[in-house]
Amino acid sequence: MQCYHDCSDLRLARNHLLDLLTDPLNDIGTIETALNTYLALFAGMILAPDEKGGESKLRYTTRFRWTQTMLGQTPLVQSDTVFELVSICQNVGIWHMKHASAIAAKEDISMDEAKDVHTCLRKAAGYFCAMKNKYVGQLREQPVPGSDMDSRVASAYINQCTAEAQEVTIGRAIEMKHAPGLISALAHETSKMYTSAADSLASLEASKFGRWRKFLILKAVFYLSYAYCYAGENLLAQEKCGDAIRALQESHKCYQDAVQICRQYSTMKGPGSAAKIDQHLFFRKLAPLVKRTLDKCERENGFIFHQKVPKDAPELELRATYGLVSPEEFQMPAHDKAWTPIVYAAFYVQTTGTPDPANSASFMFTLWYSARAKKYYFLAFSTVYSTR
């Protein structure tokens, strides 16, 4: 009967996790505990829990259905437990993004809340990174173009999450009045991350991915404006007033470009809800900051330095010396203690048709076998569904 209990526990753990993921305001610890509980129970369907190890004989026995973020309500279907692992972890990554967004939407957040946002986004990037680099390549079926498993989409998620975590670092650096050169370098790195994310989506269908890509371009231009603004302040401190003025002029130009892109973004249609970036306090603060700093530079240049303003904008710092964000590494939990070699051996796999595990026409049912009762039982977890 242990097999039956394992299957029942697995189904209940999965349903509990999926219920929790519907609310972005749930506690992070609750989500991670539910995820680890489910994955520990699920591990025996991916890797054999006996002394031989390797691929589990149960890997291709269960059909999973998952919708994709940008592809509507028609689910993708695969008979592969790695497909389930990737889908679950990507959904947990998306939950972390939504949780961070819900906290960051407040007008004024505490230091502890800012740390939670930073941690959430690093964890989200870690989930996407691990799935892309370690697990998607193990699938029998190639990822559908535009699906969450498409390397271009996964790369966009990774870069976006990392860039958004770095936004928290920039906000902290500004609040603590760190050196303007450091803030400029961090903003420049963040702009490049958003650009990389947008470039990842460039070859995908514009009707589905156009608005998301426009959002990423907007953030890239916005943080480029921040980079030039603080570069100007840094140059003024070095008494390079002409270069400082040119940097601030470039910052003003980038800000105007961001405002224009924001208007375009607000009129675009696509999956999901549109972010109201221009209403965010951090966005509203930039224009007066650029104006104040530029006015100061022009005033000082007129009274003291009398330096020529160059035609070309100064080069920005290529890399910050510290403060850069990296994804938090995801670790697959060990098998639950219920997965003993005896329990694993009790599972009997019966194949039907041509032995092509990824082909639904030859779908394999998992049965558990009770030697005492001399009966086979269908796995209670045989067909599962989920939506984003």
Mean pLDDT of 55-63: 94
Number of domains within the chain: 2
Q: Are residues 204 and 342 in the same domain?
A: no
CB atoms under 10 Å from CB of 175, counted, come to: 10
352-371 per-residue burial string, b: 16 or more CB within 10 A, e: under 16? eeeeeeeeeeebbbbbbeee
337-349 per-residue burial string, b: 16 or more CB within 10 A, e: under 16? ebbbeebbebbee
Q: Are residues 232 and 321 in the same domain?
A: yes
Which value, in Å, is the radius of gyration of the alpha carbons in the chain? 26
Q: Are residues 51 and 159 in the same domain?
A: no
Final residue in a domain of this structure, among 294, 316, 331: 331
Final residue in a domain of this structure, among 315, 331, 347: 331
Amino acid type, 274? A
Q: What is the pLDDT of residues 135-163, one digit of tens each?
A: 999 999 999 999 999 999 999 999 999 99
pLDDT the model gives residue 372 = 33
Cα–Cα distance measured from residue 125 to residue 157, given in angstroms and rounded to the nearest whole number: 7
Amino acid type, 107? E
Q: Are residues 196 and 126 in the same domain?
A: no
Q: What is the pLDDT of residues 346-373, one digit of tens each?
A: 888 876 544 444 443 333 333 333 333 3
pLDDT the model gives residue 177 = 93
More confident site: 377 or 223: 223
Q: Are residues 179 and 249 in the same domain?
A: yes
Q: Are residues 15 and 103 in the same domain?
A: yes
pLDDT the model gives residue 371 = 33
CA 152 and chain centroid, separation? 12
Q: Are residues 102 and 226 in the same domain?
A: no
Domain of 114 in residue numbering reads as 1-141+335-388
pLDDT the model gives residue 320 = 64
CATH (domain of 190): 1.25.40.280
Q: Are residues 257 and 175 in the same domain?
A: yes
- 37-51, 125-139, 338-352: range with lowest mean pLDDT: 338-352
pLDDT the model gives residue 280 = 74
Amino acid type, 263? R
Q: How confident is the model at residue 306 (pLDDT cuts 50, 70, 90)?
A: confident
Final residue in a domain of this structure, among 331, 346, 372: 331
More confident site: 227 or 347: 227
Whether 380 and 4 have beta carbons less than 8 Å apart is answered as: yes
pLDDT the model gives residue 3 = 54
Q: Is 85 exposed, middle or buried (0-12, 13-18, 19+ CB in 10 A)?
A: buried
Q: What is the pLDDT of residues 267-279, one digit of tens each?
A: 898 776 777 777 7
Which residue has tokens 């426009």? Answer: 214
Q: Are residues 185 and 299 in the same domain?
A: yes
